[in-house]
Amino acid sequence: MVLQLTRAVILPLMVLGFTHQINAQSDSVFIRRIYDEALLRGKAYEDLRSLCKDIGARLSGSSEAAMSVRWSEQKMKEYGFDRVYLQPIMVPHWERGNPESAWITLANGSIEKLTLAALGGSVSTQGLLEGEVVMFSHLDELKQAKKSEVEGKIVFLNQAMNAAEIQTFKAYGACYPIRGNGAVEGAKLGAKAVVIRSLGLPKDDFPHTGSMRYEDSIPKIPAAALSTADADYLADVLTQDKKIRFSMELDCRLFPDEPSFNVIGELRGRKFPEQIITLGGHLDSWDQGEGAHDDGAGVIHCLEALRILKTLKYQPEHTLRVVFFMNEENGNMGGKSYAQRSKEQNEIHLAALESDRGGFTPRGFGCDGNEIVFQKFLALAPLFKPYDLHIWEQGGGGVDIGPLKDVHKGISLFGFIPDSQRYFDVHHADSDVFENVNRRELELGAASVSALIYLIDRRIFGN
């Protein structure tokens, strides 16, 4: 009797273990095919070149953004996805206008030119704006300042990203408030304008733009970012002479919202077509540079991931949906609208993956899912060991897919994690161009995303 029970328990476990081993071998072989397709016959690098050079920077509401929608729709159709369509949305339309100008006048009367960029959403200076500069090394110092120290002056926030942080996104997150809230805090104390140190790690001459906000109850004042090299120079000058006069001109313009689109392509699921796994990034970019890393690389990662699966004749169990979101940079109307439409249409969303950290060497993924999903996610790590992906962390997602969490309870979000050390060299700057993307790193990223989407479909949610 004991022998019979032992056999009854051991035999299924042996079968289960053998089946798991066979599945792992099968997955390993298919993942190798994914990487071979990406590295030997990949389309990612040429597609990114075309997006950057044939279309250019893609700020929401611009002609370039409109043309990028056409480009993306045509590319998805060219790759033969089962369904390709546009999802209408409304997006903000802000323009930088004529190139920005800035100078300082020293105590001896000499004039020196500085390099700066208007922050996204800033109001115009209405011609040349001038004032004495007052410097603060941290936003909290400005908040604690007396009105008499700030009123009628131009605030200079010289808070640098912490170079000691190994994870550069942590350094960026700690500094973001000077860009997002600096104009509001300066205006509360009567400042004429706010100029911040660019959110970038290297010392160079490229100012970094990015979104900032206003509050309706507080006067709107112009806001701009100095290059890190000029921020250092201005700080040095101010230590010797407190009476520096700053002159600047921003020609920013705000227009009524514009119609635009999310671009969507699908591979239909053979078992559960009504259950959706989304992957994507944002098609829009700032008007500085070409949006090559932010987020041209991300949308191309996801386009190429789906193309590879289609080329390899993989038949997904669930519907795989690639989404090029519009307007992540200054409103996230693409992400919000996508989530809301999915709710209105009673769609079933199992998971979503976002790539929005650049096209650098893949390091791993993050997962924001329940404990069962997270453990299944961790179990995938050995399959990626041959490809040097070692980060498998809790927490993941992105700005575009974040709103799905609010309307689909229990959805699992995943985030692609490439190496971050060079990302803030080019983030939101004129240096974010195609030439600064490495072909092999981009292709490895696309293969990594494709492999994880395959495993999310087949292993994490597969039957």
pLDDT, averaged across the chain: 95
Question: Cα–Cα distance between 242 and 331 in angstroms, integer?
Answer: 38
Reported as a single tens digit per residue, the pLDDT across 104-127 is 999 889 999 999 999 999 999 999
Q: Is residue 3 part of a domain?
A: no
pLDDT at position 145, please? 98
CB 271 within 8 A of CB 317: yes
Question: Cα–Cα distance between 205 and 232 in angstroms, integer?
Answer: 11
Give the global pTM. Answer: 0.94
pLDDT at 13 over 70: no
Reported as a single tens digit per residue, the pLDDT across 180-227 is 999 999 999 999 999 999 999 999 999 999 999 999 999 999 999 999
Structure tokens at 237: 């000058």
- Say yes or no: 241 and 284 in one domain: no
- Who contacts 126 (Cβ-Cβ below 8 Å, separation ≥6)? none
pLDDT at position 23, please? 72
- Say yes or no: 334 and 395 in one domain: yes
pLDDT at position 24, please? 74
- Say yes or no: 83 and 120 in one domain: no
CATH number for the domain spanning 290: value is 3.40.630.10
Q: Is residue 14 part of a domain?
A: no
Q: Is residue 286 part of a domain?
A: yes
Question: Cα–Cα distance between 299 and 76 in angstroms, integer?
Answer: 12
Pairing of strands 272-282, 318-325: parallel
pLDDT at 1 over 90: no
Question: Cα–Cα distance between 307 and 80 in angstroms, integer?
Answer: 8
**What is the tally of helices (H) and strands (E) in the chain?**
15, 16
- Say yes or no: 294 and 267 in one domain: yes
Average pLDDT over residues 374-402: 97
CATH number for the domain spanning 139: value is 3.50.30.30
Average pLDDT over residues 385-389: 97
pLDDT at position 221, please? 98
Q: Is residue 19 part of a domain?
A: no
Question: Cα–Cα distance between 147 and 151 in angstroms, integer?
Answer: 6
pLDDT at 138 over 90: yes
Give the confidence band of 22 by pLDDT, cuts at 50, 70, 90. low
- Say yes or no: 419 and 288 in one domain: yes
- Say yes or no: 247 and 285 in one domain: no
CA geometry: angle 423, 334, 302, nearest 5 deg: 55
Reported as a single tens digit per residue, the pLDDT across 24-40 is 789 999 999 999 999 99
The amino acid at 201: L
Reported as a single tens digit per residue, the pLDDT across 90-103 is 999 999 999 999 99
Of 212, 228, 251, the residue at which a domain comes to its end is 251
Average pLDDT over residues 238-265: 95
95 - beta bridge partners? 253
Question: Cα–Cα distance between 456 and 461 in angstroms, integer?
Answer: 6
- Say yes or no: 265 and 403 in one domain: yes
Reported as a single tens digit per residue, the pLDDT across 286-345 is 999 999 999 999 999 999 999 999 999 999 999 999 999 999 999 999 999 999 999 999
Of 217, 251, 285, the residue at which a domain comes to its end is 251
Tell me the DSSP string of 387-432: GT--EEEE----TTTTTHHHHSTT-EEEEEEE--TTHHHHTTSTT-
Structure tokens at 428: 């939101």
pLDDT at 6 over 50: no
pLDDT at position 428, please? 98
- Say yes or no: 159 and 217 in one domain: yes
Residue bearing the bigger pLDDT, 301 or 10: 301
pLDDT at 4 over 50: no
- Say yes or no: 208 and 272 in one domain: no
- Say yes or no: 403 and 286 in one domain: yes
Angle of helix 2-41 relative to helix 297-311, nearest 10 degrees, comes to 120
Average pLDDT over residues 336-357: 98
pLDDT at position 243, please? 86
Q: Is residue 4 part of a domain?
A: no
pLDDT at 424 over 70: yes
Question: Cα–Cα distance between 22 and 1 in angstroms, integer?
Answer: 32
Reported as a single tens digit per residue, the pLDDT across 56-93 is 999 999 999 999 999 999 999 999 999 999 999 999 99
Secondary structure (3-state) at 321: strand
Among residues of the chain, what percentage have pLDDT more than 70? 95
CB 355 within 8 A of CB 302: yes
Question: Cα–Cα distance between 199 and 202 in angstroms, integer?
Answer: 10
Burial (CB count <10 Å: 0-12, 13-18, 19+), residue 12: exposed
Query: Nearest Cα to 418, choosing from 383, 380, 387, 454?
Result: 387
pLDDT at position 375, please? 98
Q: Is residue 410 part of a domain?
A: yes
The amino acid at 182: G
Q: Is residue 9 part of a domain?
A: no
Residue carrying structure tokens 């190994």: 166
- Say yes or no: 61 and 124 in one domain: no
Average pLDDT over residues 408-417: 97
Give the confidence band of 21 by pLDDT, cuts at 50, 70, 90. low
C-beta neighbour count of 174 within 10 angstroms = 14
Q: Is residue 15 part of a domain?
A: no
- Say yes or no: 239 and 263 in one domain: no
Of 251, 273, 291, the residue at which a domain comes to its end is 251
Secondary structure (3-state) at 10: helix
Number of domains in the chain: 2
Domain extent, residue 134, equals 100-251
pLDDT at position 241, please? 81
pLDDT at 53 over 60: yes
